[in-house]
Structure formats: C-alpha cells, structure tokens
Amino acid sequence: MNAVPTTESSGDARHQIDLTVKDERWLAVGSLLATLQDVAVRALQVAGEPRGRGFEVSIALVSDEEMVRLNRTYRNIEGPTNVLSFAQTPLPEQPPGARRALGDVVLARETIAGEAQAQGKPVRDHAAHMVAHGILHLLDYDHRTAGEENEMRGLERQILAALGIPDPYDAILRADTDEP
C-alpha cells in the first residue's frame, strides 16, 4: 500500500498520544482510532501517573509485512508478532512538568485480526488490549515471571474494563479449550 500515513494526535492534559495509520486496512475497524487513543490515555493514567509526570506515546498501525521487517531488524526474529514496544531513551534533563517521551507501540494488522478471530473477539478489542500491553512494557512492566505476569494482566484488565472492553484473557482461555 503506497498511501500516505494518516496521523492523529490526542490525549488529556497530562498525556499526548500520536497515532499513525501506515496500513489503511486498519481504518475498516469501526471506532478503532478513538478506542486506541482512549486505551493509551487510560493505561498512562493507571500505570504511569503514580510516577509523577505526563507522557508522550506514539502508536503505529502497520501491516504484517512491516512488522516482519521491524521484528527482523530490532529483535533478530523472523516473522510477524502482534505488538512491539520501543522504549525511548530518556533525555538527560527535562524541564520540571515536561512530558516524557515514553516510546512507540507498533501493531501488526493481519496478526491481530487473525488472533482476534481465533479468540472470538472483535479486532478493535484485541488491538486495544495490545496497546495496553505495549504501553505497560514501555512503563517497565514485564511478564517474565508468574508474579510479573499476574501484575501486568491485572493492570490490562483494569485498563480495558474502564472502557467497557471485556477481559481479554477470558477469550484466550475459551479459544484454547474449544474442541475442533
């Protein structure tokens, strides 16, 4: 697709969200852009504000082809993944009260659409979950241990529930236990 990327910015008084659509097929998902911006702000409010400052986050909606390139270049892994987070290296000094550039979250269209279908949930909801997940990674949350995973999943559930999005892990459990 050779279209010029669509970029939108929004946020609240403390946080700035820049959203770039690099694959126009994302635009077919109803209310997606507003939902992703709302989820990003909510994630920063829930997990970021206790850290005492506002944040700037960029979200890019790309094709699997672009995600394959990113995954190969930055992780030395072949193939697409649903979400990548790229943390911004902190600036040495920032004025008091200035927003901190947190980093970038990138979503892969075909992978997310396929996962959503397999889990029986709307693409919009799964993309929202991946944005929350990616932003939590930017805020130094991880899931390498059971304790970290439980904490991260709890925050994801809280963020999504505040916006009326069902528990994403319920759908995953149902998809994993469905008989063919």
- Can you say whether the dihedral through the CA atoms of 161, 134, 115, 113 is positive or negative? positive
DSSP tag of 162: T
Distance between CA 6 and CA 66 in Å, rounded?
16
Res 179: pLDDT: 46
Two structure tokens written together for 101 = 């550039």
- Give the end-to-end CA distance of the chain in Å, rounded to a whole number: 36
pTM of the model: 0.87
Q: Are 157 and 62 in contact (CB under 8 A)?
A: no
| Token pair 């986050």: residue | 57
| Token pair 């920063």: residue | 44
Distance between CA 21 and CA 40 in Å, rounded?
15
pLDDT in tens, 34-60: 999 999 999 998 887 656 678 899 999
Q: Are 57 and 17 in contact (CB under 8 A)?
A: yes
Mind listing the domains of the chain with CATH numbers? 6-172 (3.40.390.30)
Res 89: pLDDT: 79
Give percent above pLDDT 70 in the chain: 81
Instruction: Point out the least confidently predicted range of 16-25, 59-68, 86-95.
Output: 86-95
